[in-house]
Structure 1
């Protein structure tokens, strides 16, 4: 136990380290931690239920586009024809956009452009409306030959039965395929991040309520500053969570390694077909750990503040339910922001502290730019500091009300009894 004189010589960070080390060792070497490692089996059900919105996001963000690279007048006629037919045909027709207005006699290498895998471009129409040439991946050529011919006929104001011939050119890959893979990686990353934060942040509450019930928190409050107790418990739970994630990652990595020896995973999925995130796998995993830490500290500080106001497990469940539901809404908000890349919805998801880790992890999967991550991490660090400061202030007030003040009342009661007995005739 830390004596009062020793506590007086400790800084708040030194005292926080003492608490963090105590909690970390106590939890890590407990039998309950073994059962805790089995916890991720249950959130798999939640992940499967979230597949509905994931499918919608995939459809909206990864809908392929066909670029038009023709002379200026031909581009206008093709786009006008597409606008006329799109409402009537619906999603069966790919989205057509202007790619390039070329000068008469100028050539455009559609194959080279697609093989550079830029943007969401899955096909390119060149030539003229009377002799269009479609360049796309092999599996899309047969699907889109008819819609492109129909749009070209509409551009020429021909009868629906008079379609111009469409020349087909195949390529090995396209930007649309690359973007679809990155969006899928972003969705999986967001879901895993959400499940880990929600699963692991609950440890903070259970540990705090247990110590309040055993009066341990009152002993700590008498020995060291409550701000140090708050910081120590928060970072101890973060360290325990990272250990748990490391164990799970090792197990999963071993399973994937075994599957890699067989070249395919169950269901015939080839490991080599895994979509590569925009920043690459090493940085994506690094950002995943950092954004998990930021999200955990934000939510953990809220949960610790809530735990300070509760004295029983039932009260904890009642008080934490609104925060849990809010976090679910934040997750879905971040998932929907994938459909609005670069638009106000995504920028709002990045700016709001609780959704920022999810939005930025998705950005790491879909975009190769690094500077937005440094800016977002700086903002998240500021938000973490503000959340911890506000949470520790509430934590200090509530715990001191439940501990030392009640102890003072008990001491005053004992003093009154002693004084009463000391009086003559008492």
Structure 2
């Protein structure tokens, strides 16, 4: 190769940017991408409608009640006070429970047959309210009014002692494990839904001989990197659209959705790490799918050859789900070291553990494997499809070939 040709070729980073910009523009303004976007929106819309119906059904059910666990005389007085006041103000329904101080209040609150949101104990002069923190904050005034009316002294209202439902370390870890499982499930679904575009795009351009033109213009590594990052950018556009619609539905149907426990590192940092680990998971599996799409001559062959990779992803998901309950175990550490499962397991760790520094190490590890996968896929494509080694393939000047790329972009837009 002459020195003029060698110096006229773009660097890998610059060439990858040119390919990525071309693919991103062509896909973003295509009709197929529009229909790809509205498919999940229909599903989200149906889910939102189901949530609204569920919220309406929940509102039409019996409201949560207030249990009264006092002496028999105080129980009866509280019930009479409730009967005299319920027509005047909005009060929760009450249920007198026999047993007094010997009653197991946590078990009473957990009894689904009774539907009690809080329990008042103690005496009319010193009532004590047990329940979730938000519930007892709302009902403490009602309990004080009921106790004052029950003892016949509405000139002074007794102070209500609040006992928020205690949260043990075990229950806290269990709640965060639920957040971790929900996060990795969403990550898996988004990755599998969006990664398939890489294969279909590669097969289409391979059939149209566009890949060969790109390979002659820029290094094959740059072609793979450009296509991966173009698809990643397109995926973020899809996530932004779907997330906006889902956010509106969540706001409108918030009453029907139970609150998700906060992750150990907090929601802002957790959301940032979710996007970063999605990018890593997408680039890792996308590089595998890209190599498959480059090797497959037809769409039917893509479906056949991608089946092992899809099964591998399912195995990775099940491994990450199992590792959620085994933090620090050899299985979890092996899942962190395995590149395809590393984003999922580290996202689960972000939900369960407050340590931040190890996420930087995990992201660096995953970036390394993305580079290796891309290098391997590009080398395999050169040797098996282009039938060339590391050198010896005729190269043309990048200026003329980039003009050809611009022509391809224009033709695809039209």
Q: Which position in structure 2 is the counterpart of 1:78?
A: none
Question: What is the CA–CA distance in structure 1 between the aligned matches of 2:231 and 2:165, rounded to whole Å?
Answer: 48
Structure 2 unaligned segments of length 5 or more: list them: 45-101, 112-162, 395-414
Compared CA separation, residues 7 and 240, structure 1 to 2 (3 A): farther
Q: 2:222 aligns with which of 220, 224, 228?
A: 228
- The answer as to whether partners of 1:297 and 1:384 remain within 8 angstroms in 2 is yes
Q: How does 1:362-377 map to 2 (within 5 A)?
A: 362-377=348-363
Query: Does residue 180 of structure 1 match 2:148?
Result: no
Q: Deviations over 1:1-23 (max 9, x none)?
A: xxx96993311211111110000
Question: What is the CA–CA distance in structure 2 between the aligned matches of 1:291 and 1:24, rounded to whole Å?
Answer: 21
Could you list the runs of 4 or more consecutive aligned residues of structure 1 that deviate by over 4 angstroms after TM superposition?
4-7, 41-44, 140-143
Q: How does 1:81-100 map to 2 (within 5 A)?
A: none
Question: What is the CA–CA distance in structure 1 between the aligned matches of 2:276 and 2:31, rounded to whole Å?
Answer: 28
Offset of 1:372 from its aligned partner?
2.1
- The answer as to whether partners of 2:21 and 2:230 remain within 8 angstroms in 1 is yes
Q: 2:272 aligns with which of 271, 286, 295?
A: 286
Q: Which position in structure 2 is the counterpart of 1:20?
A: 20
Query: Does residue 328 of structure 1 match 2:283?
Result: no
Partner of 2:236, secondary structure, is: helix
Q: Deviations over 1:357-396 (max 9, x none)?
A: 1101111111111122122112112222222221221123
Question: What is the CA–CA distance in structure 2 between the aligned matches of 1:196 and 1:7, rounded to whole Å?
Answer: 41
Q: 2:248 aligns with which of 250, 254, 258?
A: 254
Partner of 2:297, secondary structure, is: coil
Structure 1 unaligned segments of length 5 or more: list them: 45-133, 144-169, 409-426
- The answer as to whether partners of 2:206 and 2:212 remain within 8 angstroms in 1 is yes
TM-score (norm 2): 0.62
Compared CA separation, residues 137 and 197, structure 1 to 2 (3 A): farther
- The answer as to whether partners of 1:43 and 1:195 remain within 8 angstroms in 2 is no
Compared CA separation, residues 244 and 6, structure 1 to 2 (3 A): farther
- The answer as to whether partners of 1:230 and 1:395 remain within 8 angstroms in 2 is no
Question: What is the CA–CA distance in structure 2 between the aligned matches of 1:139 and 1:367, rounded to whole Å?
Answer: 30
Partner of 2:166, secondary structure, is: coil
Q: Which position in structure 1 is the counterpart of 2:405?
A: none
- The answer as to whether partners of 1:238 and 1:296 remain within 8 angstroms in 2 is yes
Q: Which position in structure 2 is the counterpart of 1:38?
A: 38
Q: Which position in structure 1 is the counterpart of 2:373?
A: 387
Compared CA separation, residues 285 and 137, structure 1 to 2 (3 A): farther
Q: Which position in structure 1 is the counterpart of 2:262?
A: 276
Compared CA separation, residues 284 and 189, structure 1 to 2 (3 A): same
Q: Deviations over 1:1-56 (max 9, x none)?
A: xxx96993311211111110000000001111111113446999xxxxxxxxxxxx
Q: Which position in structure 1 is the counterpart of 2:11?
A: 11
Query: Does residue 311 of structure 1 match 2:279?
Result: no
Partner of 1:275, secondary structure, is: coil
Q: Deviations over 1:184-211 (max 9, x none)?
A: 1111111110111111111000001001
Compared CA separation, residues 339 and 237, structure 1 to 2 (3 A): same
Question: What is the CA–CA distance in structure 1 between the aligned matches of 2:318 and 2:332, rounded to whole Å?
Answer: 12
Q: Which position in structure 2 is the counterpart of 1:356?
A: 342
Q: 2:382 aligns with which of 396, 399, 403?
A: 396
Q: Which position in structure 2 is the counterpart of 1:138?
A: 106
- The answer as to whether partners of 1:16 and 1:229 remain within 8 angstroms in 2 is yes
TM-score (norm 1): 0.61
- The answer as to whether partners of 1:227 and 1:396 remain within 8 angstroms in 2 is no
Question: What is the CA–CA distance in structure 2 between the aligned matches of 1:225 and 1:208, rounded to whole Å?
Answer: 16
Partner of 2:328, secondary structure, is: coil
- The answer as to whether partners of 1:186 and 1:366 remain within 8 angstroms in 2 is yes
Compared CA separation, residues 250 and 43, structure 1 to 2 (3 A): closer
Compared CA separation, residues 326 and 142, structure 1 to 2 (3 A): closer
Partner of 1:173, secondary structure, is: coil
Offset of 1:348 from its aligned partner?
1.1
